[in-house]
Amino acid sequence: MNEYETTDLSSLSGQTSNLLGSWADSVQGHGDANELRAHHSTCLGCGPDNPHGHHLQVRRDGQDVVAEHVFDERHVGAPGIAHGGAVATVIDDLFGFLLYGMGSLGVTRSLQMDYRAPVLLGRNYILRARLVERDGRKMHTAATVAHETNFVATARAVFVAVDLGHFTEALSSADRDRSSR
């Protein structure tokens, strides 16, 4: 039995408990599959049921994770250009798939984006992320965003491994706040 099976979700509302439980199960459920499942159905980065989401489809490539993505009008910043926050969102989500590959839950401690050229709407970009180093609970990661052979953005991030209790505590507090209104 692992920590995901033994964490008490009873303090959460039914919907929150179900979502968190299925999310935690999916962390453990990737095995050696090359095509990786969405974090959960409504995830902003990869959830297939989120109408405002990016719908990333991620696969393993050796130790890296890779996705192809086309930014569209939902992601516009300046006319014809993807908003920097939209680009950061997909990179942050891609990094989350690295954690899945390690069977670890984690939270973003820092994310640094370097934009080398405009990320244009309607173009196919290759997103690639890798683990650079693991230092205890800290996971240092790096990513690139490329169109054909041109790197348009790079990123570095630090994630901190946490257990499921980190999320249940935050969500229990949110559920209490909602019910007291």
Task: Say if 10 falls within a structural domain.
Answer: no
Q: What is the mean pLDDT of residues 65-74?
A: 96
pLDDT confidence band for 140 (50 / 70 / 90): very high
Query: pLDDT (tens digit, 9 = 90+) per residue, 74-125?
Result: 999 999 999 999 999 999 999 999 987 777 788 999 999 999 999 999 999 9
Task: Say if 65 falls within a structural domain.
Answer: yes
Whichever domain contains 80, its CATH number is: 3.10.129.10
Task: Say if 172 falls within a structural domain.
Answer: no
* 3-state SS, residue 174: helix
Task: Say if 64 falls within a structural domain.
Answer: yes
Task: Say if 128 falls within a structural domain.
Answer: yes
- Here the tokens at position 72 are 């569209």
The number of domains in the chain is 1
Task: Say if 22 falls within a structural domain.
Answer: no
Query: pLDDT (tens digit, 9 = 90+) per residue, 33-45?
Result: 688 888 888 889 9
* 3-state SS, residue 127: strand
For residues 137 and 161, the answer to whether their CB atoms sit within 8 Å is: yes
Task: Say if 177 falls within a structural domain.
Answer: no
- Here the tokens at position 55 are 């719908």
Backbone φ, ψ for residue 57 (5° rounding): -120, 115
pTM: 0.81
- Here the tokens at position 168 are 């249940």
pLDDT at residue 1, rounded to an integer: 36
Angle at 46 between CA 14 and CA 173, to 5 degrees: 35
Q: In the chain, what percentage of residues exceed pLDDT 70? A: 75
Domain extent, residue 73, equals 35-163
* Residue 25: closest CA among 42, 50, 5: 5
* Residue 94: closest CA among 137, 64, 133, 134: 64
Which of 11-15, 124-128, 139-143 is predicted with the least confidence, judged by mean pLDDT? Answer: 11-15
pLDDT at residue 149, rounded to an integer: 93
Angle at 44 between CA 111 and CA 18, to 5 degrees: 115
Task: Say if 174 falls within a structural domain.
Answer: no
Q: What is the mean pLDDT of residues 140-157?
A: 97
- Using CA atoms, how far apart are residues 66 and 47, in angstroms rounded to an integer? 16
Q: Decide which of 134 and 8 is more confident.
A: 134
